Amino acid sequence: MKRFSDLIRELDQSNKTNDKTAALVRYFREADDPDKLWAAALFSGKRPRKAASSTELRIWAGQLAGLPDWLVHETWHIVGDLAETIAKILPEGPGDAFQGLAESMEFLKSAGTLTPEEKKTAISEKWLQMTVDERFVFNKLMMGGFRIGVSGGLLHRAISTAIGLEQDAVALALTGNWNPAETTWQALFDRPADAKNELKPYPFCLAYPLEDVPESLGPVGDWLIEYKWDGIRGQLIIRGDAIALWSRGEELISESFPELVEAATCLKHAVVLDGEILPVMKDGRVAPFHALQPRLGRKKVTKSLIEKYPVLFRVYDLLEADGTDMRTSPAAERRAALEQIISTCTSSLFDLSPLIDAKSWDQVALIRSEAPKEGSEGLMLKHKQSPYHTGRKRGDWWKWKVDARTVDAVLIYAQRGHGRRANLYTDYTFAVWDGDTLVPFTKAYSGLTDDEIKEVDKFIRQNTLEKFGPVRSVKPELVFEIAFEGIQPSNRHKAGVALRFPRIQRWRLDKKAQEADTLESLLLMVKKSQH
């Protein structure tokens, strides 16, 4: 366990890619195979179930440390992280709780079968045997909240260097629904070449946001231009008589969309298709993203649900055709082959993402500005000669989204942040006017500079009206421009609306609170988004 906790500390303390890569390579060369397997799983986003609730762990740790619960609770809000709080209020142990990461994962699995009292005893014993660093990592794993800044590309590159396997083969081996408790390190990487015999997805090709003017890309004729759809990106695999549908998050979602799997039989080829699962209205137009939400996460989908929330699969790339890997072929060739394949499908649940014919970048910019009318977020620009990369490679694929929608809102509540910002108020709640009343409608915690955060923190401390546990209400004086990607009706929010991807665009020092937007304007945005 020490080797893994040391790795986490190294990764957390460095912001240099080379240092992180070196630490990962060292771990994957030196650790035991079962530990490496679990580390790869955790860094790939496979998290264990919670072994205990946050409340249970807080109370048990306080009792073990001889501290009252209120003090542990208050310390938690100052530190900003419960796992770190528990790690630090208990004494340093000898570090002999577990031989390695795999053994700790087995313990967490078995802890789920214990009674609360048995669980408390077992976990308390392990806590006292751990160092502070080990205890912190163990707590993160136990709470199901293990997240660390290791991108897929960084992980694949490190393992590739450590074991001498091509990076694309490593990426393919780590995709899909594999279970570290049911395979071995060697078996995991011995089988990527046989992936075509399985219903295993390829790593997705990702685009960079276009931040320069489009003219910088060269002649418009060198690019395939299509709409950027706002749905669930999916990969449809048909091999033999077997069909599988995967999400970009590498979750098997065939059961959530059984009508797409059934309709895929119209494709008379063994193929792997990249596309978007989109909600549709009765007239066939693309519906807003929130219309997909009732379909998400369901293992059992009823006929009435399918009829009430219809979807289609809009295809935009071909990764494999009749056993041939097409990913190294130029995008223009893949598109031509894709058009031939889709033309044989008669199902209304499958269609082809249309290409946009434009003679100039000015024309492309105009089409982009009107993209929301098509139910689109903007445009995708794909170089005609580009292969289908693994992950994100700069230069070949660009996403050019329409400018985000914005609303001017008043800061009314604040809460301390986490990690390095645990002593600053960085989590904000914003409100708009409903007559003479400020109605809260969203939270946001990103978008300000460090200097701005310090200024806002100072204002919050000097202008607090009330305290509700870790939350402070403040004088409604500061106005911020909140940007967001989408808006939808919501019965769970007091304002009756919910924003998609809200963030602070800028601090409106030029505006007074009375000049902030109204709830009426938000409801009008909702109405427009539904038509």
| Gap between the Cα atoms of 292 and 375, Å rounded | 13
Structure confidence at residue 3 (pLDDT): 93
pLDDT at 148 > cutoff 80: no
pLDDT of residue 66: 95
| Residues comprising the chain, all counted | 531
Most confident listed range (73-77, 137-141, 402-406, 445-449) = 137-141
Mean pLDDT over 375-397 rounds to 94
DSSP state at residue 473: E
Is pLDDT of 468 > 90?
no
Strand ranges of the sheet holding 208-209, from the earlier edge strand across to the other edge: 208-209, 397-401, 376-383, 223-229
**Contact of 246 with 237, CB cutoff 8 Å:** yes
Residue 194 pLDDT exceeds 60:
no
pLDDT, tens digit, for every residue of 390-401? 988 899 999 998
- Residues whose CB is less than 8 angstroms from the CB of residue 204 and which lie 6 or more positions away in sequence, other chains included: 233, 235, 248, 274, 391
Q: What integer pLDDT is reported at residue 352 of this predicted model?
A: 96
- pLDDT band of residue 299 (cuts 50, 70, 90) is low
Alpha helices in 93-240 (DSSP H): 101-111, 116-129, 132-142, 152-163, 167-174, 185-190
Per-residue confidence (pLDDT) for residue 309, from 0 to 100: 93
The larger pLDDT score, comparing residue 291 to residue 365, is at 365
CB 484 within 8 A of CB 408: no
> Rounded mean pLDDT of 439-465?
92
pLDDT of residue 421 exceeding 80: no
Cβ-contact 352, 344 below 8 angstroms: no
Q: How confident is the model at residue 420 (pLDDT cuts 50, 70, 90)?
A: low
Model confidence, pTM: 0.65
Report which of 407, 403, 481, 413 is spatially closest to residue 448, judged by C-alpha positions. 481
pLDDT of residue 377: 87
State CA 303 to chain mean position distance: 29
Q: Which amino acid is at 378?
A: G
350 DSSP assignment: E
Structure confidence at residue 149 as a pLDDT band (50, 70, 90): low
**Best mean pLDDT range from 10-14, 138-142, 167-171, 311-315:** 311-315
* Cβ neighbourhood burial of 476 (10 Å; 0-12, 13-18, 19+): middle
Q: Is 523 helix (H, G, I), strand (E, B) or coil?
A: helix
- Point out the least confidently predicted range of 145-149, 241-245, 472-476: 145-149
Q: Which two tokens stand for residue 479?
A: 């106005």
Is the pLDDT at 304 greater than 80? The verdict is yes
Measure the CA angle with vertex 14, ends 10 and 16; round to 5°: 125
pLDDT, mean over the chain: 89
Question: CA 265, CA 259: separation in Å to the nearest integer?
Answer: 11
**Using alpha carbons only, what angle is made at residue 14 by residues 12 and 17, rounded to the nearest 5 degrees?**
115
Residue 356 has pLDDT above 70, yes or no: yes
Contact 387, 330 (CB under 8 A): yes
**Percent of the chain clearing pLDDT 90 (strictly above):** 59
Q: Minimal CA–CA distance to 273: which of 221, 320, 211, 239?
A: 320
Phi, psi for residue 152 in degrees, rounded to 5: -60, -45
Is residue 44 very low, low, confident or very high in pLDDT (cuts 50, 70, 90)? confident
> Which of 11-20, 129-138, 220-229, 261-270 has the lowest average pLDDT?
11-20
pLDDT at site 49: 82
Distance CA 49, CA 142 (A): 8
- For residue 531, name the pLDDT band (cuts at 50, 70, 90): low
DSSP 360: S
Q: Could you give the domains of the chain?
A: 2-142 (1.10.3260.10), 205-401 (3.30.470.30), 405-529 (2.40.50.140)
Q: CA 228, CA 205: separation in Å to the nearest integer? A: 14
Report pLDDT for 87.
Answer: 94
Arithmetic mean of pLDDT, 508-520: 90
| Contact between residue 203 and residue 391 where contact means Cβ atoms under 8 Å apart | yes
Give the model's pLDDT for residue 419: 61
- The answer to whether the CB of 355 falls within 8 A of the CB of 365 is no
| Residues 82, 136 contacting (CB under 8 angstroms) | no
Mapped onto helix, strand or coil, the DSSP state of residue 166 is coil
DSSP codes, 50-61? PSS-HHHHHHHH
Q: Are 430 and 482 in contact (CB under 8 A)?
A: yes
Q: What pLDDT, on a 0 to 100 scale, did the predictor assign at position 530?
A: 64
Q: What percent of the chain has pLDDT over 70?
A: 96
Label residue 147 by pLDDT band (50, 70, 90).
confident
C-alpha 493/C-alpha 442 separation (Å) is 9
pLDDT greater than 70 at residue 196 = no
pLDDT class of 47 with cuts at 50, 70, 90? confident
**H or E element that contains 219:** none
Encoded tokens for 154? 């960084």
Query: Residue 361: is its pLDDT beyond 80?
Result: yes
Say if residues 271 and 321 touch (Cβ distance below 8 Å).
Answer: yes
CA gyration radius for the chain?
A: 26
Under 8 Å CB-to-CB from 370, ≥6 apart: which residues?
none
Q: Which tens digit of pLDDT belongs to each residue from 75-126? A: 887 777 889 899 999 999 998 889 899 999 999 999 988 999 999 999 999 9
Token representation of residue 278: 């989109």
pLDDT per position as a tens digit, 428-440: 999 999 988 999 9
